[in-house]
């Protein structure tokens, strides 16, 4: 063992790996993945379960004990590539797998915090990520660690060595495609979306055989594009994407329609459905593309066996504000009027919280989860927004010089009432815990023409805070009533994920650098620890040798400092970083 093996030793970690038995990797099975929410000794899915509820039944760290947790090791991602760190750690057989900015992957011994291996993707110079060079995590299957790269590749690494086992090009990065989301594994297939809506790409969800990398099916997410399945090495049509070319798009704009499923998906075994959200239609200038522009800004239920769209629900038809519809759709069950309801919920960037019937996509209820929504008066009985016509950015062609349409002030801003950062659901309380933001924007439209690989917006904007003393608000909501149970206000925007546990706790982090724990019923702040850089990752918890651990990745960045306008000035002095922090209760 060389001296370099100890360059990232953790706080209170063992001084030598020779004193610690090497991890023994058993591999991840389909059964492991399906049972992930109930099995607490590992984390093998993004979301602590395929439903994405981010709930753990662990409770030794609880309301009474959380103030006693201590950091036991901290692992530095190293180097000068300390941009936004939005990853969720995975844990299997004593090894943690976490991604870093610029498409890097690390394997860490969870007992000591020592690095076992590191993989750096060789990225070309011409990558075109929209919103920082982030990566949100890996998928685990068999003895593989699988992740997507900023140049739109899917890479499978050997879990023991970090060596490449297979690599597939999902799409051409020079056309604007990239991958930032953690893939999902269902029935032995690794399933990924793509990013790139700001470049006029065609959104797609693709499934690959997780062991070999062979393409299984492809589902475009812009109406009019054909889907395919591959059987016995042959490519076969799998039906047009839910409609005819141009049906909800004018002319040929569906050919560069965006609708990128850039956040990844969830899966519900009860209905055997994948749930993926889709991004903005391209371009942002909605006057160029009258119609609903399916399947942009929507939630899609997809058959995991062949990629067919089973149902869809569009949260922002004819999106003119870049509200997208990618935010996670979380399956949950409840009882109403004595009858069980198979539901799914999402908190949309447009400011509305939606509860759907996950078997058929029918709208159950919706309500605002932010204080100011100006683009719509509300939702009708089908969940369709009732637009405020004067709050749509103006048509440049109606202005004499045709260079810029009328500016409107719209809330929320395009960064959303909630952006990518995942919320959590606790079956114990029946509440969703939503990391919300209160801001608005001045937005205007401009003329634009599509050019492959070039920005395709047709809009300009400036984001502004609505309040002097806070932007971010962590809120607890009852999905059966829309009641706001409690809230915690934060000066800077919230941009990290949420975790809830049977111990009565809600964990999240803020850009000021604090890992925080709240009482899940009252919202009382029970614990905070400064990690040294802003937290935009997602906390996780697991147990080992009878002790409960909490881990979170710290490292400020993401879209806010890049796109935030006046808001970016509020966070300009926050330090970047790259550190995995791991906590537990001290032994008594």
The answer on whether 45 is annotated among ligand-binding residues is no
- Give bridge partners of residue 424 from the DSSP assignment: 433
Closest CA to 316 of 256, 262, 252, 373: 373
Tokens of 336: 């109403």
Is the separation of the CB atoms in 578 and 571 below 8 Å? Answer: no
398, burial (CB in 10 Å: exposed 0-12, middle 13-18, buried 19+): exposed
| Joined tokens for residue 378 | 């509300």
- Report d(CA 76, CA 72) in Å as an integer: 14
Angle value at C-alpha 258, between 328 and 416, nearest 5 degrees = 45
For the record, the structure tokens of 507 come out as 């964990």
**DSSP labels for 440-469?**
EEEEEE------TTS----EEEEEEES-SS
Q: For 17, list phi and psi in degrees, rounded to 5.
A: -65, -20
510 is in an annotated binding site: no
> In this structure, are residues 175 and 199 in contact, taking their beta carbons and an 8 Å threshold?
yes
Q: How many residues does the chain have?
A: 588
Residue 419 counted as an annotated binding residue: yes
Is 180 annotated as contributing to ligand binding?
yes
Q: Is 322 a catalytic residue?
A: yes
* Residue ranges of E strands in 170-323: 184-186, 189-192, 204-209, 215-220, 226-231, 234-240, 265-268, 273-277, 298-302, 309-314
The CA distance from 383 to 367, in Å, is 10
Instruction: Give Cα 123 to chain centroid, integer Å.
Output: 22
Q: Is position 189 annotated in a ligand binding site?
A: no
Helix, strand, coil share of the chain (percent; to 5):
5, 40, 55
Largest CA distance in the chain: 76
Q: Which of 292, 322, 324, 348 is catalytic?
A: 322
DSSP label at residue 286:
G
The CB density around residue 238, as the number of other CB atoms within 10 Å, is 18
C-alpha pair distances (Å), 433 with each of 53, 141, 345, 500: 10, 29, 12, 8
On whether 31 is known to bind a ligand per the annotation, the reply is no
- Known binding residues are 86, 136, 180, 198, 280, 322, 419-420
- Known binding residues for Ca(2+) are 198, 280, 322
- Known binding residues for pyrroloquinoline quinone are 86, 136, 180, 419-420
Active site residues: 322
């Amino acid at each position: 063992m060389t001296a370099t093996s100890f360059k990232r030793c953790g706080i209170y970690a063992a001084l030598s790996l020779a004193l610690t038995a090497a991890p023994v990797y058993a591999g991840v099975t389909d059964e492991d993945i399906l049972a992930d929410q109930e099995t607490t000794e590992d984390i093998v899915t993004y979301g602590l379960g395929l439903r994405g509820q981010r709930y753990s039944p662990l409770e030794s760290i609880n309301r009474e004990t959380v103030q006693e947790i201590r950091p036991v090791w901290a692992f530095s991602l190293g180097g000068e590539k300390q941009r936004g760190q939005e990853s969720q750690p995975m844990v299997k057989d004593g090894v943690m797998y976490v991604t870093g900015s610029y498409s890097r992957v690390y394997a860490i011994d969870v007992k000591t915090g020592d690095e076992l291996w590191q993989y750096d993707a060789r990225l070309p110079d011409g990558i075109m990520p929209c919103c920082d060079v982030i990566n949100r995590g890996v998928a685990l299957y068999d003895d593989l660690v699988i992740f997507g790269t900023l140049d739109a590749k899917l890479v499978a690494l050997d879990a023991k060595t970090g060596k490449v086992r297979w690599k597939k090009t999902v799409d051409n990065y020079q056309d604007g495609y990239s991958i930032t989301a953690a893939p999902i594994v269902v029935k032995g297939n690794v399933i990924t979306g793509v990013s790139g809506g700001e470049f006029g790409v065609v959104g797609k969800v693709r499934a690959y055989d997780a062991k070999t990398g062979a393409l299984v099916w492809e589902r475009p997410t812009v109406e009019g594009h054909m889907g395919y399945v591959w059987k016995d090495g042959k490519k076969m049509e799998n039906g047009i994407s839910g409609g005819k070319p141009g049906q909800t798009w004018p002319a040929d704009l569906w050919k560069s329609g965006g609708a990128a499923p850039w956040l990844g998906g969830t899966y519900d075994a009860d209905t055997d459905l994948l749930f993926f959200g889709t991004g903005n239609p391209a371009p942002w200038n909605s006057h160029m593309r009258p119609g609903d522009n399916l399947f942009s800004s929507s939630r899609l239920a997809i058959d995991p066996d062949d990629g067919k769209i089973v149902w869809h629900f569009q949260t922002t038809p004819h999106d003119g504000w870049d509200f997208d519809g990618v935010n996670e759709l979380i399956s949950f069950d409840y009882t109403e009027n004595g009858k069980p309801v198979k539901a799914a919920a999402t908190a949309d960037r447009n400011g509305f919280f939606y509860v759907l019937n996950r078997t058929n996509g029918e709208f159950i209820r919706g309500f605002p989860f932010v204080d100011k929504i100006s683009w719509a008066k509300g939702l009708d009985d089908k969940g369709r927004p009732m637009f405020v016509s004067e709050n749509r950015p103006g048509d440049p062609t109606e202005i004499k010089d045709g260079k810029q349409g009328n500016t409107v002030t719209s809330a929320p801003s395009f960064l959303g009432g909630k952006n990518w950062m995942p919320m959590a659901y606790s079956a114990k309380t029946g509440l969703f815990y939503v990391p919300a933001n209160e801001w608005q924007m001045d937005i205007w439209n401009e003329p634009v023409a599509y050019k492959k690989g070039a920005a395709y917006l047709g809009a300009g904007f400036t984001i502004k805070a609505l309040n002097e003393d806070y932007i971010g608000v962590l809120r607890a909501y009852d999905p059966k009533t829309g009641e706001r149970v409690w809230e915690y206000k934060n000066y800077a925007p919230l941009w990290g994920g949420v975790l809830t546990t049977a111990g009565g706790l809600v964990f999240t982090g803020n850009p000021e650098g604090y890992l925080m724990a709240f009482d899940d019923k009252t919202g009382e702040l029970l614990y905070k620890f400064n990690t040294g850089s802003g937290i935009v990752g997602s906390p996780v918890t697991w147990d080992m040798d009878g002790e409960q651990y909490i881990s979170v990745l710290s490292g400020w960045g993401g879209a806010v400092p890049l796109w935030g306008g006046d808001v970016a000035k509020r966070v300009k002095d926050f330090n970047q970083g790259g550190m995995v922090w791991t906590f537990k209760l001290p032994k008594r």
